[in-house]
Amino acid sequence: MINLKVLDLSHHNTVNSFEMIKDFGIIGVILKATQGTYMRDQTYPARYAAAKKAGLLVGAYHFPDSSPVEAQLNFFMDYAKLGPDDLGALDYEPDTTHGHTMQLEQARDFLANYEQRMGRKAKFYGGSLIKETFHGEDEFLQSHDLWLCHYGVSRPVLPPQWKAPWLWQYCDSQANNRSGGPGAVPGIMGGGLDCNHYPGVDAELVSSWTA
């Protein structure tokens, strides 16, 4: 059974009310903050404040490219301005627009430097790219909570190095738009919405948010 508890949002989504989102049963939102070293999501600052005010857990994610890791991390951290209760995530997926996909070694460096600066780990988002590029054992990467991208409501296929996902993104905006919205949530206009299943109870999600 799907347990929709977390949304990830970007400027592509039209948000009318974070209070309605929370009342629907959503526990947290993860907002796009930056991409590469050239794009800041202009909706992020106001949505960060509004989601906090509504009592939601809040996080920010960075969509990377192949540019220098330190510059990307600085770009993300300077804009996201994460507090002690806020989640950070690396959105490790192909850069289909510009063709400058982050390499796995760069992802490792990004996560290591994030942890050094913040004193806690970032979440690691991905699906097909992890399965294609990550072979063998890697204790450092495997120590990060996996935010798995696998569309559909059947049981997700995991990279063999992880036993379970922390979050499972089971539906994206395109799937929602095609089907009329299996993840429709009050407070958000339209069917285009990224939806995430959490396999535990709410208290466990809260305690794991920045763990």
- What residues does each domain of the chain span? 4-208
Q: Whole-angstrom Cα distance, residue 211 to residue 208? A: 5
Could you tell me the fold of the domain covering 4-208?
TIM Barrel (3.20.20)
Q: Distances in Å between the alpha carbon of 209 and those of 102, 111, 138?
A: 25, 16, 23
pTM summary value: 0.93
Please name the helix (run of DSSP H) or strand (run of DSSP E) that holds residue 129, with its range, or none.
Answer: helix 128-133
Backbone dihedral angles phi then psi of residue 133, each to the nearest 5 degrees:
-110, -15
Residue that has been written with the tokens 């947290």 in this structure: 28
Evaluated on CA atoms 82, 169, 63, 127, the torsion sign reads positive
Q: Whole-angstrom Cα distance, residue 111 to residue 190? A: 34
Per-residue pLDDT of the chain (211 residues), as tens digits, is 889 999 999 999 999 999 999 999 999 999 999 999 999 999 999 999 999 999 999 999 999 999 999 999 999 999 999 999 999 999 999 987 788 999 999 999 999 999 999 999 999 999 989 888 877 778 999 999 999 999 887 788 888 889 999 999 998 654 443 333 445 799 998 667 899 999 999 999 999 999 9
Residue that has been written with the tokens 């009342």 in this structure: 23
